[in-house]
Structure 1
Amino acid sequence: MKNICFFYPSKNVGGAQLLFVRLAIELSLIEGLNIKVIDYSEGFLTKQLANTPNVSLIPFVNGKAKIDFETILITPLSYIADIEYLVDFNIQEVKLLFWAIHPDNLKDSLYAKGRKIFINKAQLRHYIVTLSEKGNIIYMDGANFYSVVKELDINFKPFYLPIPVDIKEQSKVRIKKDKVLNLGWLGRISYDKINSLYKIIDEVRFFSELKKFNIHLHIIGDGEEKEDLITYLKKSNVSYTLAGTLMNQYLDNYIIENIDLGVAMGTSCIEFASRKIPVFLIDFSHDRFPNDYKYNWLFETEDYTLGSNVNSISERKNSFEQLIKQFSDDNKLGEKCYLYTLNNHYIKNVLNSLLLHCEDLVACDRNEWKMFQKKINPILYKISYKLYRKLKFKM
């Protein structure tokens, strides 16, 4: 194993993008290992890794990239159907590693671009199970695994590779100084998270009015739903700050100086916890949340799950009011979240797990891969999608 290549072309800033940046940087420090990244010339990964030794860019131009060397290719599970259109590679030289990093990854792949009309999910079960059992599909957490199980009505033993984070001993620790509770949201303001934000705004408004308790909401992040969010905030009449996108030391300073309690999903939860800020999890939903929705502290989660679909079957323990009371009564919550993160998400341990997995990884069987692609990309879909790409990229 001399080469590891990441495929996640993106011009946005988000948890998934930061996830691949962190892994690329950490892997680049290993002697004898060459790290490649497929991205736009002006992409987020390109900009973040531009000055990182031993990391080289493979340009993603007109919706296509080329790999002409032996490597392990790591990419989100959402690309499992489209990877052959997006990357020119030899299936016997490139070992594919699909990482389920969002519970909707498989749905995005099965139903995107009109594919839903043509495919038969029942025919895909065998291939998804086979790829998982051979290690070519791995899962970030239980939410990702069980979403695949539910979608295809299958079951098997998953390999978990949780979110990695570089945890440093904190020289500065947040000390609550005033009577206002500063609640921080961290994450993109996107279509799959906007209802989560609406729910938190509703909770803040109801609790503040009911208990005469001052809560100031800090929203760290940006995205396509920002204007709708601002409209909702103004109607809700809550106290808030829109901090925008913050990274690296700017994010560190803002959290330490301004946030008493965090709420997030995915990678963003770890950003609070690694700084010893107590954080509770919230799920995602494409619809409004139920009124009686409950939450878990980070350290109460199972199977590394850092957020799932609001309709999934999972045990959530605490109402918003209970969270606030526990926060007021227990000054060790931040330490508990930090220790959970250290024990389950420390990047050195996650990296070792990934490298051991890669040592045993084998290339997909050529015939099985071709058959799988025929099932997931039926001929009518294939023709229409190729036409779409020709028109889009004028190829």
Structure 2
Amino acid sequence: MNKNIYFYYPSHVIGGAELLFSRIANYLASLNYNVGYIGFKDDIVLSLLNLKVNFIITSDIIALPDDSVIITHPARCFEIPKIITNKTNYLFWVLHIDELKHINQFYKLNNAYTKKVITKMIKHKALVDIDKQTTQIIEYFSKTKMTYESKIPVMLNNCCFKIRKKLLFQNAINLAWIGRLSRDKIYSLINILYNLENISLKNTEIYFHIIGDGECNHKLKKTYNNFHIIQHKTIAPNQLSSFLIQHIDLVFAYGTSLLEAEKLGIPAIAPYYTTNKTFSNEFVWGFNLKDYCLAPINKEWYSNDTNTIENLLNNFMENIQFHSTQAREHFENFTLDKQINLFLQSVNRTTFSNNTYLKLYKLRKIYILKNLNFKNKIRLKIYYYIYKILKKKGLIFYD
């Protein structure tokens, strides 16, 4: 018997998680699974979901069918509303290598408490991730071995493609960055632009397109001497492929954005993932990444040596067809039809129940209470005194 699958990820901005969750929901719905998505009444994914996906507006209390599984990020684990059902389990999917830091920062927790949360998830086989690199980070942080198959690579829809054989325009190469201009990506982009300013391509004009927007846009220079820069801000998901096909020869990206190019036969160069200023000139082809890694933090995740931007671009222009073919072959490891079974196995395996979730929630309350100063502890005691009186009178139904 198939479980009812519900994604919990309310959001007003489009990003990798929103696209991935809506993509999987649509795919499973097309296979006649009972799939739902919990979000805001004006959620960004409403324009992405097909009519077979049951959309539920998030509120304090949500009723779901029996035998449901809720999929979300670990960093969203304390936002989930009260779920009314006879049986609900949870699956927490780590989609970012800094996810554990995000839990600490967002909920103002420390490593010791977050470690307890992660260990509890692992114990119930409820924590999954996107690649071997992330698995190692989780195991190192939690000091707990993930003895089950925890890896679920990101997945994209398959599509028609055409192997590239030449540049789109004579005597010009059109490069692109795809990704948000956010704190976790901006320094990788700045490093790419720094290196492009110092290269030489024979008889070839360089055009660099920035596809994406964000709070760190102000950190970018607007003009460069060695190449032309063109900013497009965010391009809608349903328009991105056609834009890349018509305008772009080669992409710089990591994560799902890298695959968005490769699925079209457009090669992608992967920078190191960094949240700090860097002036490294070490890059690698996306198709040379291994173990499903799409945001490498070091050379362990490369199957070949790194190279400079100048060398990679010259190699590309000498044999465009080879690089286009390799890119498409790499993408084919990440299609929905190839990876969906790993996702469904994890959905059926998790034993992280509503009762387990409530225990974790209470543990967080204890942690917060221990870390309050004396004045706030008094305020909290007054709050709970009033709360108990109101609950006895039937004026409060949900904690």
Correspondence for 1:165: 156
- How far has the Cα of 1:57 moved from its partner? 1.7
Instruction: Report how many residues are paired.
Output: 369
Query: 8 Å contact 1:219–1:243 — kept in the other structure?
Result: yes
Counterpart Cα distance in 1 of 2:371 and 2:225: 47
Instruction: Map 1:96-107 onto structure 2 (within 5 A).
Output: 96-107=90-101
Contact 1:173 1:275 in 2 (8 A): no
Aligned CA distance change for structure 1 residues 150 and 319 (closer, same or farther; 3 Å): farther
| 1:190 partnered with 2:185 | no
In the alignment, is the contact (CA less than 8 A) between 2:91 and 2:352 conserved in 1? no
Question: Which protein has the larger Cα radius of gyration, Structure 1 or Structure 2?
Answer: 2
Gaps of 5+ in 2: 384-398
| SS of structure 1 residue aligned to 2:231 | strand
1:292 is aligned with what amino acid?
Answer: S
Whether 2:291 is the aligned partner of 1:303: answer: yes
Q: Does 1:66 align with 2:67?
A: no
- What is the TM-score when the length of structure 2 is the normalising length? 0.82
Does 2:70 align with 1:78? no
Query: What's 2:394 paired with?
Result: none
CA drift of 1:379 comes to: 3.8
Aligned to 1:120: 112
Q: Distance in 2 between matches of 1:317 and 1:358?
A: 37
CA-CA distance at 1:207 after TM superposition:
1.4
Q: Give the match for residue 306 of structure 2.
A: 317
Name the structure 2 match of 1:294: 282
Asked if 1:24 is matched to 2:25, the reply is yes
Q: Given that residues 67 and 87 in structure 1 are in contact (C-alpha distance below 8 angstroms), is that contact kept between their aligned partners in structure 2? A: no
Supply the distance in 2 between the matched residues of 1:206 and 1:336 (Cα, whole angstroms): 27
Gaps (5+ residues) in structure 1?
A: none
The aligned residue for residue 42 of structure 2 is 42
Superposed, 1:1-395 pairs within 5 Å as: 1-31=2-32, 33-49=33-49, 52-61=50-59, 64=60, 66-70=62-66, 71-80=68-77, 82-83=78-79, 86-89=80-83, 93-116=87-110, 120-121=112-113, 124=115, 128-129=118-119, 131-132=121-122, 134-157=124-147, 158-170=149-161, 173=164, 175-176=166-167, 177-208=169-200, 214-229=205-220, 232-234=221-223, 238-289=227-278, 291-309=279-297, 314-315=301-302, 317-331=306-320, 332-342=322-332, 344-364=333-353, 366=355, 368-377=356-365, 378-380=367-369
2:128 and 2:152 in contact (8 A); partners too: yes
Q: How many percent identity over aligned positions?
A: 24
Q: 2:134 is paired with a residue of what secondary structure?
A: helix
**What is the alpha-carbon distance in structure 2 between the residues aligned to residue 225 and residue 245 of structure 1?**
14
* Cα displacement string for residues 237-274 of structure 1 (whole angstroms, at most 9, x for unaligned residues): 74111122223452122101111111111110110000
What does the per-residue CA deviation read over 1:195-241, in whole Å, with 9 as the maximum and x for residues that have no partner? 11111111111114x97853211111122222333xx2336774111
Q: Normalising by structure 1, report the TM-score.
A: 0.83
